[in-house]
Chains A and B, each alone.
Chain A
Amino acid sequence: MQFDTPATTNPIDRLKVIGRPIPRIDGQLKTTGRAMYAYEWHDSNVRCAYGYPLGAAIAKGRIKSMDISAAKKAPGVLAVVTALDAGKRKKGKYNTANLFGGDEVQHYHQAIAVVVAETFEQARAASVLIKVAYTEEKGSFDLKAAMDTAVKPESEQPDSAVGDFEGAFRAAPVVLDETYTTPDQSHSMMEPHASIAAWDGDELTVWTSSQMIDWWRSDLATTLDMDKEKIHLMSPFIGGGFGGKLFLRADAVLAAFGARAAKRPVKVALPRPFLVNNTTHRPATLQRIRIGAERNGKITAIAHESGSGDLPGGGPETAVMQTRLLYAGANRMTAMLLATLDLPEGNAMRAPGEAPGLMALEIAIDEIAERVGIDPVQFRIINDTQVDPEKPERPFSHRDLIGCLKLGAERFGWEGQGRPGSRREGSWLIGTGVAAAFRNNLVMPSGAKVRLDGEGVVTVETDMTDIGTGSYTIIAQTAAEMMGVTIDRVSVHLGDSRFPVSAGSGGQFGANSATSGVYAACVKLREAITQKLGFNSDDVVFENGEVRSGNRSLPLAEAVGPHGLVGEDTMKWGDLSKTHQQSTFGAHFVEVGVDVDTGESRIRRMLAVCAAGRILNPITARSQVIGAMTMGVGAALSEELAVDTRRGYFVNHDLAGYEVPVHADIPHQEVIFMDETDPMSSPMKAKGVGELGLCGVAAAIANAIYNATGVRIRHYPITLDKLIGGLPEVT
């Protein structure tokens, strides 16, 4: 099915199942431990050996030699495969750094060997016995220094310029010109990357933890130099990804090599420190924002420039993108620079671009609003735009940022915001902050196969993944709504390369795209049933487990017959996203307390109001948003990968050193969804929400800290050492 005209009324609009607060259908499997994650597959006829990875001990250079003699003789060891044994491999399309193979070391903890043994402990102990000689090379590890030689990135996102920014900025009566920085961040999902690989002749089966089944399968085939069709990849349950599992990772490659060498199925999980230095991270940014405004609060000039770094062949963190669309203003420009860094690979992490971009932009908006003397909620309302500011002929498909701000202000009690540093309770300085949330709504082609069997059970198969987001549930809801059955009559199977290729989970495109794919397949199935029965397709109705046309009706099980019927299709997307800008919007309101003595910032309450099209399931959507808000607290207050610029790696590479929020950091969180639909986005009329929830949170917190203390911090995370110099002296 091609979606190229705005959706009209369709069976989803009945909202008997869609839009209902249905608890996730896989919840019981998870709470009872029966949902099998990658490392946990226990097939009775698969006796797995354990692989343990060895990472490079240097950041850049060459492997001179590897002595594996002691490791091979260690107790229980079945095989040792080194990067030199594997040789230089072709690299997957989506990988920047090599995952395994060859003598080149591109970053710290790049995988250089896998040891396979009977037990995990034996494999780990033997890995330490491998002696490696390196030729170390000088690398570039300091973003600030590397910016001197940064270049314009070769990417599909060019610099932008409309009107005369410089002239308008010079002429503006109120201006802001500030620099903001965001640090490298780690996905730090609960489940580490893990894979089991089993060879059967030249065919390979892989159980793994992947957000994108088809990308992984293709890139694994490329890396192993084999036919993609001979790889069967499964990832039915995933313990979080946040973008860290979008692209093939070393665990799958090492498991495949280890299994081939040991002639046994092999399981490999990446140790926690590898998540930081072996895989990918969100790159740090240096951002400069300039805004010029009239005294009435209208922005006349806005510029956003961002610099980031990556390994050669990598790309920039696109932190300026939202600034092209979020606020009005006739004169505008954005630009990006990319520096070469020899740190581990920078790549997508939840809301890439917008998350760090809004961390900066939404402080800047708070600052210019203050300079103009207009309340920051009102300032954002004044500068709303209903069209793409760079191409005014191109409207937003649906944009209710103003509604989010107004409703949020009302529910939060915003009018109480006092001047900075004026509110105190005991030793707590109290402040409130607001920020806009913005994230583009992306769509991806997505396929599904839907079968209705002789028992009246609807079975959905798609390689879509559920990374904890609720995909199982919303897909079941979609199929139930389309086929007119209750949700308990639907069985959903995900994350298997034998199923139709779907959107996968990423870029908050998964929910809308994958359910649209299921919608398309259900349309096919409805047509097949209609045709089989000789019903009139104009008045056929699927409802209450029956198919009805005129005065004829039949139970579905009977309608499809003993052999059942199948519908399969892929949703493809026309030009609506080109003719109309599709984005999601929100407003975050936060109250913080800052300890006047120690500078510790603690969140007191949070509210998010989201306008993201139809909400398919308010429970799973809310979970997405509160999880994202929590991630935003980490971004604001504690999360930073510390770079050792001498040795070229992230030093705090575990969960003791890289501090994500804990329960005690998270206060009352409230989420409100605007009651809206977006017919331009899909037949579901839904949009993404999983990344929107993160966008702007950290800036709202930064603004609240400023309101509490009068100290403006433009460098994340806002830790107490940056604050205490500006707090009142101790008495």
Chain B
Amino acid sequence: MRPFTYERASSIEAAAKVAASNSQAKFIAGGTNLLDLMKLEIETPAHLIDVNDLGLDKIEATSEGGLRIGALVRNTDLAADETVRRDYGLLSRALVAGASGQLRNKATTAGNLLQRTRCPYFYDTNQPCNKRQPGSGCSAIGGFSRQHAVIGTSDACIATHPSDMAVALRTLDATIESVKGDGSRRSIPIADLHRLPGDTPEIETVLEPGEFITAVLLPRPLGGKHIYRKVRDRASYAFALVSVGAVIQPDGTGRVAVGGIAHKPWRVEAADTELPNGARATSRVLLADARSTGQNRFKIDLVERTLGAVIAAAKG
């Protein structure tokens, strides 16, 4: 870990301003991912802006009938929130499927969205990695890639986004609220927040330098059955091989997003309309351009099988 300076931000605008003016600055909230990366010198910020005391830890009803989740709401609190459990069960289930109790106590809503990939080559600074060191190459391609992405990949990167929560938010069509360095505010649909790797896998979101997430907005509740099915090698404390988040209505219509297969939570709206036609039809659209490394070929089958289980569970 390199030495860094530290400040506790006094306001949202001040935090964004400092961050925008200092390319070496990073926000720190729960720190559950950033600190690990700093210890390994994968992240080397010279300045940390602590945003824990900005009053962004509330969950409030919106006038549109939805929910505004403060960026600093801890994963544990969000999962346990009564309204979330009642109206957005998918989100609660996805949260508790992730990490461990201790990590969820620290991890925040915005931090969860912005966590970085768990590709083992990204984590080993002796190995080439385009995400860590642009232009150095991708070690995972042709290497150990059982956990890696099967869709939306590029020749530069086949990493996945590891979040469970983000899969739920993508299914629910959440919106991200942010403040830029110049103090202006904007809303970003979750669909647009994360980028595919392309030629610049080091750029993971559309956030501008210094841009600060203040809240996540959920639209009105969708009703229906909320199912989050996470598939993994051990029963707990493991990243998803594949996860399926779905909201399915009594008539069989609904929406679905998939985790563990792409650089972002994967949803194809056209696939949603196939849900009444079953798992095969839906996953055919969802994974239309899937490309495996061989080692992760099973994920393509696994998406369909897991989706089948989810659709069956919704009927049950």
Residues of A within 8 A of B234 (CB): 637-638, 659, 661-662, 664-665
Size band of the B side of the interface? 35 or more
Interface residue B270 (Cβ < 8 Å from any Cβ of A)? no
Interface residue B186 (Cβ < 8 Å from any Cβ of A)? no
Residues of A within 8 A of B1 (CB): 121, 124-125
Interface residue B172 (Cβ < 8 Å from any Cβ of A)? no
CB distance from A169 to the nearest CB of B (A): 36
Q: Which of B284-308 contact A (CB under 8 A)?
A: 298, 301-302, 304-306, 308
Interface centre among B125, B127, B305 (most CB of A within 10 A): B305
Residues of A within 8 A of B144 (CB): 642-644, 651-652
CB distance from B160 to the nearest CB of A (A): 13
Closest to A108 in B: B126
Interface residue A657 (Cβ < 8 Å from any Cβ of B)? yes
Could you tell me if B3 and A646 are in contact, using CB atoms closer than 8 angstroms? no
Closest to A124 in B: B1
- Pick the residue among B2, B237, B241 that contacts A125 (CB under 8 A): B2
**Binary per-residue interface labels of chain B (227-242) against chain A in the complex, 1 for a CB within 8 Å, 0 otherwise:** 0010111111111010
How far apart are the CA atoms of A225 and B67 in the complex, in Å?
Answer: 69
Interface residue A656 (Cβ < 8 Å from any Cβ of B)? yes
Could you tell me if A642 and B146 are in contact, using CB atoms closer than 8 angstroms? yes
Residues of A within 8 A of B124 (CB): 273, 651, 653
Could you tell me if A719 and B236 are in contact, using CB atoms closer than 8 angstroms? no
Interface residue B14 (Cβ < 8 Å from any Cβ of A)? no
Given known contacts A128-B41, A721-B298, A730-B279, A659 and B233 CB-to-CB distance under 8 angstroms: yes
Interface residue A16 (Cβ < 8 Å from any Cβ of B)? no
Closest to B229 in A: A598
Could you tell me if B312 and A731 are in contact, using CB atoms closer than 8 angstroms? yes
Given known contacts A128-B41, A659-B233, A720-B233, A652 and B120 CB-to-CB distance under 8 angstroms: yes
Residues of A within 8 A of B235 (CB): 602, 662, 664-665
Could you tell me if B280 and A730 are in contact, using CB atoms closer than 8 angstroms? yes
Interface residue A576 (Cβ < 8 Å from any Cβ of B)? no
Closest to A426 in B: B316
How far apart are the CA atoms of A664 and B298 in the complex, in Å?
Answer: 24
Interface residue B175 (Cβ < 8 Å from any Cβ of A)? no
Interface residue A724 (Cβ < 8 Å from any Cβ of B)? yes
Q: Which of B169-222 contact A (CB under 8 A)?
A: none
Could you tell me if B302 and A724 are in contact, using CB atoms closer than 8 angstroms? yes
Could you tell me if B304 and A644 are in contact, using CB atoms closer than 8 angstroms? no
Q: Which of A330-357 contact B (CB under 8 A)?
A: none
- Pick the residue among B3, B126, B146, B238 that contacts A721 (CB under 8 A): B146
- Pick the residue among A125, A644, A720 that contacts B3 (CB under 8 A): A125
Interface residue A142 (Cβ < 8 Å from any Cβ of B)? no
Could you tell me if A597 and B309 are in contact, using CB atoms closer than 8 angstroms? yes
Residues of B within 8 A of A719 (CB): 233
- Pick the residue among B39, B139, B238, B306 that contacts A598 (CB under 8 A): B306
Interface residue A5 (Cβ < 8 Å from any Cβ of B)? no
Residues of A within 8 A of B3 (CB): 75, 125
**Binary per-residue interface labels of chain B (117-158) against chain A in the complex, 1 for a CB within 8 Å, 0 otherwise:** 010110111110000000000010011101000000000000
Could you tell me if A644 and B143 are in contact, using CB atoms closer than 8 angstroms? yes
Closest to A719 in B: B233
Interface centre among A652, A661, A730 (most CB of B within 10 A): A730
**Binary per-residue interface labels of chain A (631-668) against chain B in the complex, 1 for a CB within 8 Å, 0 otherwise:** 00000011000111011000111101101011111000
- Pick the residue among A597, A646, A717 that contacts B308 (CB under 8 A): A597
Residues of B within 8 A of A721 (CB): 146, 298, 302
Residues of A within 8 A of B306 (CB): 597-598
How far apart are the CA atoms of A125 and B4 in the complex, in Å?
Answer: 12
Could you tell me if A600 and B232 are in contact, using CB atoms closer than 8 angstroms? yes
- Pick the residue among A57, A124, A637, A644 that contacts B233 (CB under 8 A): A637
CB distance from A703 to the nearest CB of B (A): 20
Could you tell me if A662 and B41 are in contact, using CB atoms closer than 8 angstroms? no
How far apart are the CA atoms of A607 and B127 in the complex, in Å?
Answer: 44
Closest to A661 in B: B234
Could you tell me if B308 and A731 are in contact, using CB atoms closer than 8 angstroms? yes
Could you tell me if B231 and A724 are in contact, using CB atoms closer than 8 angstroms? no
Given known contacts A646-B143, A647-B143, A598 and B236 CB-to-CB distance under 8 angstroms: no
CB distance from B135 to the nearest CB of A (A): 18
Closest to A723 in B: B298
Q: Which of B104-127 contact A (CB under 8 A)?
A: 118, 120-121, 123-127
Interface residue A427 (Cβ < 8 Å from any Cβ of B)? yes
CB distance from B222 to the nearest CB of A (A): 24
CB distance from B24 to the nearest CB of A (A): 16
How far apart are the CA atoms of A647 and B138 in the complex, in Å?
Answer: 13
CB distance from B210 to the nearest CB of A (A): 26
Residues of B within 8 A of A58 (CB): 126
Residues of B within 8 A of A124 (CB): 1, 39
How far apart are the CA atoms of A664 and B127 in the complex, in Å?
Answer: 33
Residues of A within 8 A of B233 (CB): 600, 637-638, 659, 717, 719-720
Could you tell me if A720 and B298 are in contact, using CB atoms closer than 8 angstroms? yes
Closest to A595 in B: B309
Residues of A within 8 A of B308 (CB): 597, 730-731
Could you tell me if A598 and B279 are in contact, using CB atoms closer than 8 angstroms? no
Could you tell me if A598 and B2 are in contact, using CB atoms closer than 8 angstroms? no
Could you tell me if B143 and A598 are in contact, using CB atoms closer than 8 angstroms? no
Residues of A within 8 A of B302 (CB): 598-599, 720-721, 724
Could you tell me if A598 and B305 are in contact, using CB atoms closer than 8 angstroms? yes
Interface centre among B2, B139, B234, B298 (most CB of A within 10 A): B234
Could you tell me if B309 and A427 are in contact, using CB atoms closer than 8 angstroms? yes
Interface centre among A75, A427, A600, A643 (most CB of B within 10 A): A600
**Binary per-residue interface labels of chain B (5-29) against chain A in the complex, 1 for a CB within 8 Å, 0 otherwise:** 0000000000000000000000000
CB distance from A662 to the nearest CB of B (A): 5
Could you tell me if B241 and A720 are in contact, using CB atoms closer than 8 angstroms? yes
How far apart are the CA atoms of A495 and B125 in the complex, in Å?
Answer: 37
How far apart are the CA atoms of A719 and B127 in the complex, in Å?
Answer: 27
CB distance from B289 to the nearest CB of A (A): 21
Residues of B within 8 A of A75 (CB): 3
CB distance from B219 to the nearest CB of A (A): 30
**Binary per-residue interface labels of chain A (117-158) against chain B in the complex, 1 for a CB within 8 Å, 0 otherwise:** 000010011001000000000000000000000000000000
- Pick the residue among A128, A646, A654 that contacts B123 (CB under 8 A): A654
How far apart are the CA atoms of A681 and B2 in the complex, in Å?
Answer: 57
Given known contacts A637-B233, A652-B120, A665-B235, A730 and B146 CB-to-CB distance under 8 angstroms: no
How far apart are the CA atoms of A659 and B120 in the complex, in Å?
Answer: 13
How far apart are the CA atoms of A661 and B298 in the complex, in Å?
Answer: 22
How far apart are the CA atoms of A665 and B41 in the complex, in Å?
Answer: 33
Given known contacts A600-B231, A662-B235, A724 and B298 CB-to-CB distance under 8 angstroms: yes
How far apart are the CA atoms of A643 and B39 in the complex, in Å?
Answer: 25
- Pick the residue among B2, B125, B142, B305 that contacts A597 (CB under 8 A): B305
Could you tell me if A665 and B236 are in contact, using CB atoms closer than 8 angstroms? yes
CB distance from B303 to the nearest CB of A (A): 10
Q: Which of B248-287 contact A (CB under 8 A)?
A: 279-280
Closest to B128 in A: A647
How far apart are the CA atoms of A646 and B280 in the complex, in Å?
Answer: 37
Closest to A427 in B: B309
Residues of B within 8 A of A731 (CB): 308, 312
How far apart are the CA atoms of A273 and B3 in the complex, in Å?
Answer: 23
- Write the residues of chain B forming the contact surface with A, with a CB cutoff of 8 angstroms: 1-3, 39, 41, 118, 120-121, 123-127, 139, 142-144, 146, 229, 231-239, 241, 279-280, 298, 301-302, 304-306, 308-309, 312
Q: Given known contacts A598-B305, A657-B120, A721-B146, what 20 new A-B pairs fall within 8 Å (CB)?
A: A128-B125, A598-B231, A598-B306, A599-B302, A602-B235, A643-B144, A644-B144, A646-B143, A656-B239, A662-B236, A663-B236, A664-B236, A665-B234, A665-B235, A665-B236, A719-B233, A720-B233, A724-B298, A731-B308, A731-B312
Which 4 pairs show the lowest CB-CB distances between chains A and B? Answer: A730-B308, A721-B298, A664-B235, A597-B309
Q: List 17 A-B contacts (CB under 8 A).
A: A121-B1, A128-B41, A128-B125, A273-B124, A597-B306, A599-B302, A638-B234, A642-B120, A644-B143, A644-B144, A647-B127, A651-B120, A653-B120, A659-B233, A662-B237, A663-B236, A724-B301
